[in-house]
Chain A
Amino acid sequence: MGIIKTILDVLGLDSDRVYLTWISASEGPQFAEWAKRIEEDIKKKGKNPLGGLLTT
């Protein structure tokens, strides 16, 4: 994760769009909670700036 975020930061791609957390298979509610938080966060951030570009 440290590697990926560092690379994205150097290249100027938004590293805050990469998420990592550890949730056990038995922790369903936590998983749902995280999915919700990520969704909200992404909505706040808006469209992916790479989305419409051709060379991706």
Chain B
Amino acid sequence: MARGVFREYKGKGLEEGLQELWRELLERDVVQAILLPMEVEGGLVAPGLLTDAARIGESRVVSPYMPVNTARVLQMMTKTMPPSEKVAVVLCPCEARALVELVKLKQISQENLIVIAFDCPGTYAVDDYKKLLEGKEDPGELLVEKVNKGGEDAQLREACRTCPYPSAPWADIRIGFLGLDYKKRFLLEALTEKGEELITGLGMEIADVPLKEREALLDKLVAQRKKAQEQLLKEQQEQLKGPDKLLAALSSCIRCHNCMTVCPVCYCKECFFKSPTFEMEADRYLGLAHKRGATRMPSDMLLFHLTRMAHMAHACVQCGMCEEACPMGVPVFRLFKATSAKVQDLFNYEPGKDIEEEIPISAFREEELDKIQEPKI
């Protein structure tokens, strides 16, 4: 059971059905702008801030491609000052989950934002998506259909194939089209007061809606994804564990910091790796070399990744943007997924699940993690 309404859109595609919703939101002045995926020059998709209802035809929410984690964009947008007009932000689940973490860290202000999270069957890497665009049919609608029939696409990004959140755990509004009669209607589900206001602002009445079939499909999909996740963690342990294997995997890293720049939850304004600590004089490099006999230049690949993990493993939403941005084929996602999964287990913390829940590293408990803290010597 959920609180919400169904939006009917018989005879149109899902994307068009959604576009009607965006149009109404703007025309009825429920919001003054919408941040959502839009088709850009050449056919790819990127987040766009849309204010003119005449341009809703360019929105592409069903597109299975994710160039950036939009929570990153919202941090940039609201950091200095929240918007003075109402903005609906349309996010996929891992973006909504990153937003929750950034709100907790006071990096995103929720003022005047209404968070709408849509079902996500998965996304493709940029090269795969470009190829799919050459086909006749819309890759987004094809994927929705496939997943709705209980299928899975092996070509999806690894992060998506192993993602147990096809539907976002938190948002003001959830848009559902998995496990539903998605060729006719989609679900608008209100999870917060703001969400309810948006629906009533559209002149629709909220009711209890039964969702048995939807829940059954989502449960099955989540179980499938969790199995794939187990497999990935197993492979990490077999293929990437221990000094030799780990350093072999990191050996192509050129410390370009791309993985850090795109990571939505790597949020520090003054990054340690851009600090004077790493502006070393020649003699300090020489010192390192003398101590070890030889040292790689530039140095500190392992230190870079370990530090990033220690800072954000509890909050990693496993979106895989890091690996998409890596020019050198480093399995960054696998390494971060494996470590963050264990760290999150340790604190029994699911990032993005609950906007009220405290971040484990900022909550003080007098007694915690005794087993780990006990000195062993």
Contact with B along A36-52 (1 / 0, CB 8 A): 01101100000001111
Contact B342 A54 (CB under 8 A): no
B246/A1 in contact, CB under 8 A: no
Total contacts A-B at CB 8 Å: 90
Contacts A2-B372, A7-B306, A7-B313 hold; do A13 and B377 have CB atoms under 8 A apart?
A: no
Interface code B359-377, partner A: CB below 8 Å = 1, 0 otherwise?
0010000001100110111
7 sample A-B contacts, Cβ–Cβ < 8 Å, listed by A number: A2-B347, A2-B372, A4-B310, A7-B313, A11-B246, A20-B375, A56-B296
Decide if B373 touches A10 in the complex (CB within 8 Å).
no
By DSSP majority rule, is chain B's interface helix, strand, loop, or mixed? helix
Q: Are A2 and B339 in contact (CB under 8 A)?
A: no
A30 contacts the other chain (Cβ, under 8 Å)?
no
Question: Chain A interface residue count: which class?
Answer: 20 to 34
Query: Provided the pairs A2-B369, A52-B292, A54-B296 are in contact, do residues A9 and B342 lie with their beta carbons within 8 angstroms?
Result: yes
Contact A11 B335 (CB under 8 A): yes
Residue numbers of B with Cβ under 8 A of A are 236-237, 240-243, 245-247, 250-251, 253, 292-296, 299-303, 306, 309-310, 313-314, 335, 338-339, 342-343, 346-347, 361, 368-369, 372-373, 375-377
User: In the complex, which residue of chain A has the Cβ closest to the Cβ of B301?
Assistant: A55
Q: How far is the CB of B150 from chain A (nearest CB, A)?
A: 32
Closest Cβ of chain B: how far from A31's Cβ, in Å?
14
Shortest A30–chain B CB gap in Å is 12
A55 pairs with B250, CB closer than 8 A: yes
Of the candidates A6, A13, A49, A56, the one whose C-beta lies within 8 Å of that of B342 is A6
What separation, in Å, do the CA atoms of A38 and B377 have in the docked complex? 7
Residues of B within 8 A of A50 (CB): 243, 247, 302
